Amino acid sequence: MSMSPIPKTAPFAEEEIDLLNRVVGTASPVQRAWLAGFLAGLDASGATLVPHPAAPARPAEPLTIVYASESGNSEKLAGDLAKAARKNGLKPTLIDMADLEMSALTAAKRLVVIAATWGEGDPPARAVRAYNELMGEGAPRLDGIEFGVLALGDTAYAEFCAIGRKIDERLTALGGKRVVDRVDCDLDFTEPAARWIGDAVKVLTPPNAGGRVIEVDFGAKPAASPSTDIFEAEIIEHVDLNSSRSDKETIHLALSFEGGAPAYEPGDSLDLYPENDPGYVDELLKVAGLTGDDKLRAEFIKSRDVTTLSLKTVETYAASTGHQYVKALLAEGQAREWIAGRHLIDLISTFPIALDAEKLRALTRPLAPRAYSIASSRRELGDEAHLLISAVRYESHGRARKGVASNFVAERLKRGGRVRVKLKPNKHFALPASDKDIIMVGPGTGIAPFRAFVQERRAAQATGRSWLFFGDRTFTHDFLYQLDWQEALKDGALTRMDVAFSRDTPEKIYVQHKLWDRRADLIEWLDGGAYFYVCGDAKAMAKDVRTALVRAYADVKALSPEAAEQAVATLEREKRFLQDTY
Ligand SMILES: Cc1cc2nc3c(=O)[nH]c(=O)nc-3n(C[C@H](O)[C@H](O)[C@H](O)COP(=O)(O)OP(=O)(O)OC[C@H]3O[C@@H](n4cnc5c(N)ncnc54)[C@H](O)[C@@H]3O)c2cc1C
Ligand SMILES: Cc1cc2nc3c(=O)[nH]c(=O)nc-3n(C[C@H](O)[C@H](O)[C@H](O)COP(=O)(O)O)c2cc1C
């Protein structure tokens, strides 16, 4: 019978005592003396024992994480998920949907997709090809693959989280096994996304995963917490770049950062934290019967989204007030149509009912920052950052409307005032090596990042050529940063510029027409390795520009429409066709 020298009372777990007894119990006196001396010596030297795994290491279980992202939120969350998965003994593989091949899906055992929705229910621009393949008839079967989808979106859009929802449905249709229910996140996604990630990692970690399951405390510091800080900047220039006779107002806003600007690169944006129009808030409180509640007024101006009207808002209104007509609007399926072009104030003034502060607050969500492309380079300007902001103003349903952030900037920010911003990096819209040629297409405020590109290339004495396409309404009143471009053409920072002013000629000319006119040179530049950038309006311009490029390939190289489409798709795969559109 073997001896059991380690008593049950020793400060070890029962299995550890058994293990120790198995070694120490059978050891010879010499071996025991050596072990005692060794441990005593270790303690005396202050060295620590290298912990060994309790069981032989197993290969880590794989987890495939795919993200479809445009402005980086889904990408950041995918990174958070990978980190949490790794801690739990899984082996995550992160794939940008831009680079996704269907074979990576069929090879997956467990799959998470984090997908944002853009445009009007569209996939992020970079994800379009793989998304279409997944949705298309040629998509592979994914029988038995365990999956979960996290959807990012904005309830202000009719097609809320449409892409996440469609991917979730598609993976099921292809035979996948949904093991984590989808969550659709609004702009304030930090907490729900962190919770979902925590749950998903738990569910997707098999009991025999290589590592030990670690409870990741997302509550204390959310996984999706911003990695960059909020900076308070001083406004040192506030200039309307349109002439006083223009229909538009586009503000050049120069910000100065005491103690250093955020470490931005050309192509990055700043998230700007706006405040609401006090006049609008007063009107809203009046129709809600809450005039005089100064605390609520201050809170609404500073931190609540008091304009957006979503289906969710209408449902909350119907539930909390019991308003018959609003209930009927929902029951008859007309609410979706009714909210188009309307704001919260329309709901309350059209269907008035007594509201208290709590009920009104429950109809709002936190006020989200707005992104603006940085129009300057730190290499040329040091601790400044410039933004170019077009005031959004229009009329709908008989009411004059003003965009929250752009009018906060245009109407209420002044030189000498202060504003809060946060860096929003975009490594997918960066300059190439300085000897490469670049072609930049940026009508309207889409010109902003290209001012940063040109400044950066001047400061870096880049040898690659730069060609800019700009467009707006009129040459005389809307030529944004005209003097900068003239100077850049003179000093060589800009090689070439083409402009399209849509209201200067009887028939409207846009940047895509200029691309077509210059197609021979354009294709020659691209064949020589040039990078092609598009920034600005996503609704029409970006699509028209891409179509013009496909047609240019077809015409100049005598290609079939399919082969010309392939030529542009190749540019996209090579990351030489880059978009930042909104
Ligand atoms: C990465 C990125 C970079 C950007 N860069 C810039 C930039 O450099 N410069 C710039 O000016 N903007 C830029 N934007 C857009 C900017 O973030 C804001 O969306 C824009 O300024 C409007 O914000 P707002 O708060 O003024 O309007 P909001 O209060 O958010 O209202 C805008 C909403 O009003 C509605 N709307 C607008 N016009 C009409 C109309 N004519 N008819 C009916 N409804 C309408 C739409 O629903 C629209 O979504 C960028 C966006 C992104 C995502
Ligand atoms: C121009 C624009 C269009 C958008 N369209 C939609 C939409 O149709 N549906 C939706 O749910 N969200 C929409 N969104 C919101 C984005 O999905 C949301 O901001 C998301 O967090 C972005 O994630 P990403 O950074 O990973 O791209 C839109 C945002 C912008 C700026």
**Distance between CA atoms of residues 216 and 220, nearest Å:** 10
- Cα of 403 vs centre of ligand 1, distance in Å, is 7
**Distance between CA atoms of residues 327 and 319, nearest Å:** 8
Query: Is residue 305 classed as helix, strand or coil in its secondary structure?
Result: strand
Angle at 62 between CA 57 and CA 68, to 5 degrees: 150
Alpha-helical regions (H) of 205-310: 278-287, 294-303
Nearest ligand 1 atom to the CA of 70 is: 1
The answer to whether 193 and 223 are in contact (CB under 8 A) is yes
353-389 core/surface letters (b: 16 or more CB in 10 A; e: else): bebeeebbeebbbebbbbbbbbbbbbebbeebbbbbb
Q: Considering only CA atoms, which of 422, 80, 424 is closest in space to residue 225?
A: 80
Closest listed ligand to the CA of 305: 1
Closest listed ligand to the CA of 443: 1
Query: Is residue 112 classed as helix, strand or coil in its secondary structure?
Result: strand
Whose CA is closest to atom 12 on ligand 2?
Answer: 153
**Distance between CA atoms of residues 93 and 458, nearest Å:** 39
Percent pLDDT > 90 in the chain is 85
64 has which bridge partners?
A: 93, 111
Taking CB atoms and a 6 Å cutoff, what residues make up the pocket around ligand 1? Answer: 71, 269, 307, 341, 370-373, 388-390, 392, 394, 396, 403-407, 445, 448, 580, 582
How far CA 66 is from CA of 82, 110, 116, 137, 442, in Å, comes to 10, 11, 12, 21, 30
Q: What sign does the CA torsion over 72, 109, 99, 166 have?
A: negative
Q: 3-state SS of the chain: helix, strand, coil percent to 5?
A: 40, 20, 40
Taking CB atoms and a 6 Å cutoff, what residues make up the pocket around ligand 2? Answer: 69-75, 116-121, 124, 152-154, 157, 159-162, 538, 582
- Cα of 208 vs centre of ligand 2, distance in Å, is 38
* H/E run at residue 136: none
Whose CA is closest to atom 3 on ligand 1?
Answer: 372
DSSP assignment letter at 126? G
- Cα of 154 vs centre of ligand 2, distance in Å, is 6
Phi, psi of 458, deg, nearest 5: -65, -50
Query: Quick one: pLDDT at residue 524?
Result: 98
pLDDT digits (tens, 9 = 90+) for 456-473: 999 999 999 999 999 999
Query: Is residue 214 classed as helix, strand or coil in its secondary structure?
Result: coil
- What is the DSSP track for 356-402? -HHHHHTT-EEPPPEEEEB-S-HHHHSSEEEEEEE--EEEETTEEEE
Query: Quick one: pLDDT at residue 23?
Result: 76
pLDDT digits (tens, 9 = 90+) for 20-65: 777 777 777 767 777 776 776 665 655 555 555 555 566 789 999 9
Give, for ligand 1, the residue of 269, 372, 423 to mutate: max count of ligand atoms closer than 8 Å to Cβ: 372
Closest listed ligand to the CA of 451: 1
Q: Considering only CA atoms, which of 134, 118, 135 is closest in space to residue 126?
A: 118
Residue type, 431: L
Give, for ligand 2, the residue of 65, 117, 120, 166 to mutate: max count of ligand atoms closer than 8 Å to Cβ: 117
Closest listed ligand to the CA of 447: 1
DSSP assignment letter at 285? H
- Cα of 187 vs centre of ligand 1, distance in Å, is 15
Closest listed ligand to the CA of 341: 1
- What average pLDDT does the structure give for the chain? 92
147 has which bridge partners?
A: 111, 178
- Cα of 563 vs centre of ligand 1, distance in Å, is 36
Q: What sign does the CA torsion over 404, 409, 412, 416 have?
A: positive
pLDDT digits (tens, 9 = 90+) for 361-388: 999 999 999 999 999 999 999 999 999 9
Query: Quick one: pLDDT at residue 262?
Result: 95
- Cα of 75 vs centre of ligand 2, distance in Å, is 13
Closest listed ligand to the CA of 370: 1
Neighbours of 551 (CB within 10 A): 16
Query: Quick one: pLDDT at residue 218?
Result: 45
How far CA 173 is from CA of 102, 141, 144, 552, in Å, comes to 15, 9, 11, 39
Give, for ligand 2, the residue of 76, 155, 157, 196 to mutate: max count of ligand atoms closer than 8 Å to Cβ: 157
List the chain residues with pLDDT less than 70.
Answer: 1-4, 9, 11-16, 30, 37, 40-58, 209-228
Query: Quick one: pLDDT at residue 227?
Result: 45
Q: Considering only CA atoms, which of 80, 147, 79, 159 is closest in space to residue 116?
A: 159
Angle at 566 between CA 72 and CA 515, to 5 degrees: 80
pLDDT digits (tens, 9 = 90+) for 189-208: 999 999 999 999 999 998 87
Whose CA is closest to atom 9 on ligand 1?
Answer: 389
Query: Quick one: pLDDT at residue 55?
Result: 52
Whose CA is closest to atom 5 on ligand 2?
Answer: 118
Structure tokens at 5: 């020298």
- Cα of 150 vs centre of ligand 2, distance in Å, is 14
pLDDT digits (tens, 9 = 90+) for 243-274: 999 999 999 999 999 989 999 999 999 999 99
